[in-house]
Structure 1
Amino acid sequence: MTDPAPAFVVTEEQFEALFPERNPFYTYAGLVAATSAYPEFATTGGDEIARREAAAFLANVSHETHGLIHVTEVNTALYSHYCDPSQPYGCPAGQDAYYGRGPVQLSWNFNYKAAGEALGVDLLNDPWLVENDATIAWQTALWYWNTQPGTATMTCHEAMVGEHGFAETIRSINGPLECEGGNPRQMNNRVRLFRECVEVIGTTTGDNLTC
């Protein structure tokens, strides 16, 4: 009798090795549960590519959260900055309710609305779900990874399964601020984390690492 669902390419032991000081909020079980919302994530292109995509994802979220330590944005002075009042639905949870949360530090009222609609939860009215429910938190990260190109030409998922390189995930997540010399220290930290994740997970980096 076979397991109907493939196991996640990253084992719990590997996850713990990568994030020894992580916040207990970021559970392995929550990550695995979240992958059901995006079944193509870390399952596409054969084992090497699937593992490489998982490594790229975990490297980027590690960078965003300082090793899965921060659940909410550290700089509280910025919290009121993330309400775009020009949106017709406004900011029903409050002017200062749409600060960065979760593995990709989801922010802005329009992103909470779009992610919530994609995931079937009302994040526009209850953005706090992202800091209170580990599976939803991981799902917002996978929502961005699989569906949002940012200012780039492709999503992070497309970048990895199409073998365009880790550089294109940086471009999608924070390209205008880090690529083309914008902030090489930040970009290089993402690459360093990616190499570490690749080593632990057991795959290769591929080409085109820096943007």
Structure 2
Amino acid sequence: MLAGIKSAFNNNYVSAEDQGARPLIANRTAAKGWETFDVVTNADGTISFLSAANRKYVTADLNDHTKLIARAATIQAWEKFRRIDRGNGKFALQAVANDLFVCADMNLGGVLYANRPAASGWEEFTITALSSPNPGTPDSQPSTGFVVTEQQFNQIFPSRNRFYTYAGLVAATAAYPAFAKTGGHAVERQEAAAFLANIHHETGGLYHIVEANKANYNHYFDYNSKYKVVPGKQYYGRGPLQISWNYNYGAAGEALGLPLLSNPDLVAQDPAVAMKTALWFWNTQTGAGTMTCHQAMVQSKGFGETIRTINGALECNRGGGGAVPNRVEQYKKICAMLGVDPGGHLSC
């Protein structure tokens, strides 16, 4: 929910001053860019605030006199607050970091601190939901239109191969405009997180461009497929979801308008093509499951169904351990970064 937060004492909006570089302060009469926040409901019932000024989470910084400032990339303890109802539309915020209440200190110009043992006037706030951004407010999505920023992409894949680029991913999303843009704020971010978690697992953090086990290279030939094997070409795993087999290269190439059957190496040569093949599978193929990965996420069937579609025959219904918990853990980490609950049905 995009919202403006007001001090109930002076009726001013809370602002992430200087594009989030300075502590929060209740000193504004209108909610524009610096005064708007995405209110995130966490799985444990606490809430967090994502500043529209810089797309960072508000933290109660115990290393800086408990000042509230929008500087955190992910939600951890210092970024969580308990919302305490005070009646008449007012509420108090209790910081999980130290169990103290947030105060708009009027002796210090309205700067917000998490330093009060009890709540009264200066510790009371109201929230005004904004149906659409006010003039000057950054879009709730990054300017690329994709729900994940380049900074977040780099944080998710710190050791990625330079072949894989954020620009390549964003360019590829144009081929499947419903991807991560269906179902509203939470579902869009859950789908993006699910896709990124799975490609992280498949490629070792976007490190591998081609299948590591060369002993399998001559295995992926289906001579009964309508997509005929081109002499001299191999159809081993390539790209973020390690697309393999001649029938997948043929079908993906047909859907994307690319000569992948005759030139499968394109998937390992062009970052956008590589991402497009992954999104082709994600959005159109049921694999080992009963639905596409896109359907699984937008229909709230759970992250576990994406695992089943991608590699269910080898990974699902096999008890604990192995690849499934690794995929799930990565998904949960990315959801936390994007400020969204991961939902249920995480395993398969």
Q: Do residues 131 (structure 1) and 268 (structure 2) align? A: yes
RMSD over aligned Cα, in angstroms?
1.8
Counterpart of 1:147 (choices 275, 284, 287) is: 284
Counterpart of 2:332 (choices 195, 204, 209) is: 195
CA distance in 2, matches of 1:130, 1:204: 33
Q: Do residues 68 (structure 1) and 206 (structure 2) align? A: yes
After superposition, the Cα gap between the structure-2 partners of 1:192 and 1:102, relative to the gap in structure 1 and judged at 3 Å, is same
Per-residue CA deviations over 1:98-147 (Å, capped at 9, x if unaligned) read: 00000000000000000000000010000000000000000000000000
Per-residue CA deviations over 1:67-101 (Å, capped at 9, x if unaligned) read: 00000000011000001122354311525x10000
- Which amino acid is the alignment partner of residue 343 of structure 2? G
After superposition, the Cα gap between the structure-2 partners of 1:6 and 1:20, relative to the gap in structure 1 and judged at 3 Å, is closer
Counterpart of 2:305 (choices 159, 168, 192) is: 168
Give 3-state SS (helix, strand or coil) of 1:116's partner. helix
CA displacement at 1:54 relative to structure 2: 0.1
CA distance in 1, matches of 2:246, 2:232: 10
After superposition, the Cα gap between the structure-2 partners of 1:89 and 1:114, relative to the gap in structure 1 and judged at 3 Å, is closer
Alignment of 1:41-120 (within 5 A): 41-94=179-232, 97-120=234-257
Per-residue CA deviations over 1:155-208 (Å, capped at 9, x if unaligned) read: 000000000000100010011111111674111110011011111122110000
CA distance in 2, matches of 1:90, 1:136: 21
After superposition, the Cα gap between the structure-2 partners of 1:46 and 1:73, relative to the gap in structure 1 and judged at 3 Å, is same
CA distance in 2, matches of 1:157, 1:183: 25
Higher relative contact order (CA 8 A, sep 6+): 1
Give 3-state SS (helix, strand or coil) of 1:15's partner. helix
- Which consecutive residues of structure 1, in runs of 5 or more, have no partner in the other structure? none
Higher normalized helix content (fraction of residues): 1
CA distance in 2, matches of 1:143, 1:133: 15
Q: Is the Cα–Cα contact under 8 Å of residues 71 and 101 in structure 1 kept in the other structure? A: yes
In the alignment, which residue of structure 2 is the partner of 1:37? 175
In the alignment, which residue of structure 2 is the partner of 1:18? 156
CA displacement at 1:47 relative to structure 2: 0.9
- Which amino acid is the alignment partner of residue 168 of structure 1? E
In the alignment, which residue of structure 2 is the partner of 1:186? 323
CA distance in 1, matches of 2:231, 2:150: 35
- Which amino acid is the alignment partner of residue 56 of structure 1? A
Q: TM-score, normalised by structure 1?
A: 0.94
Q: Is the Cα–Cα contact under 8 Å of residues 226 and 247 in structure 2 kept in the other structure? A: no
After superposition, the Cα gap between the structure-2 partners of 1:88 and 1:155, relative to the gap in structure 1 and judged at 3 Å, is closer
Identity %: 56
Higher normalized strand content (fraction of residues): 2
CA distance in 1, matches of 2:332, 2:212: 26
Q: TM-score, normalised by structure 2?
A: 0.58
Q: Is the Cα–Cα contact under 8 Å of residues 227 and 251 in structure 2 kept in the other structure? A: no
Runs of 4+ in 1 over 6 A off after TM superposition: none
After superposition, the Cα gap between the structure-2 partners of 1:11 and 1:84, relative to the gap in structure 1 and judged at 3 Å, is same
CA distance in 2, matches of 1:102, 1:87: 22
